[in-house]
Amino acid sequence: MGIHLHPGPVAEVVIDFPPVNAVPAAGWQALADALIEAGADPGTRAVVLAAEGRGFCAGVDIKEMQRTPGHDALLAANRGCAAAFAAVYDCPVPVIAAVQGFCLGGGVGLAGNADLIVAADDATFGLPEVDRGALGAATHLARLVPQQLMRTMVYTCRTVTAAQLHRLGTVLEVVAPSGLRAAARAVAEEIAAKDPVVIRRAKESLNGIDPVDVQRSYRFEQGFTYELNLAGAGDRARQAFVDGR
């Protein structure tokens, strides 16, 4: 259980927090650290970001927040999410997200900042934040779907499928779950076969021409999560989730 780094020319960083990969506060920072370590290795040419279990990521561990007195877990999760999303984006080599099952909340933050997404045919993507009394990762969802669909998904908490994102061009390939990791590695190996100096400069140049500063944009969203917590809406929604209401 935890975050696992498997180094190599195609490094793998694997999320493993059963049963649903709801990542605890410390897990987000561990994920950031693993991605930074993988990218810092001069032998790394691409990174596959994957997960064990039936879903890629269910977002933050809300139950941890509700059982932790005060706001320490909430603050740590918010900072950890920002660090993990940034580590995907700033990784000096391309990051390929291998997404199966549910990709929710923080999972969208990870996938939306990845360079490429390969998804299983059972994958769904969504932001349940409004129902949880929070905001965030619309920055990253906006990299996957058009503006009005992004807004619809935020307001209604509806999800979209991997097939829908494939039609939009933001998921590269949709495969059977059993072939997901192999398909992601195949794309990563194609990239890894290129000149690594050129690929690293390509990643840097593409980030440099991005029209949105994803890190500043996400932190702006998080400010409204803090506001919702001060207003009491965040705690009410999280407790309703924990209570099954």
pLDDT at 154: 98
Rounded CA separation 245/235 (Å): 13
pLDDT at 132: 94
Rounded CA separation 39/35 (Å): 6
Please give the class, per CATH, of domain 2-178+195-243. Answer: alpha beta
pLDDT at 70: 85
Where are the alpha helices (H) located in the chain, listed in sequence order?
A: 25-40, 62-67, 72-90, 106-113, 138-141, 147-156, 162-168, 180-192, 196-208, 214-230, 233-243
Rounded CA separation 79/115 (Å): 22
Residues 6+ apart with CB under 8 A from 33: 3, 87
pLDDT at 71: 87
Q: Where are the domains of the chain?
A: 2-178+195-243
pLDDT by position in tens, the chain (length 245): 999 999 999 999 999 999 999 999 999 999 999 999 999 999 999 999 999 999 999 999 999 999 998 889 989 999 999 999 999 999 999 999 999 999 999 999 999 999 999 999 999 999 999 999 999 999 999 999 999 999 999 999 999 999 999 999 999 999 999 999 999 999 999 999 999 999 999 999 999 999 999 999 999 999 999 999 999 999 999 999 999 87
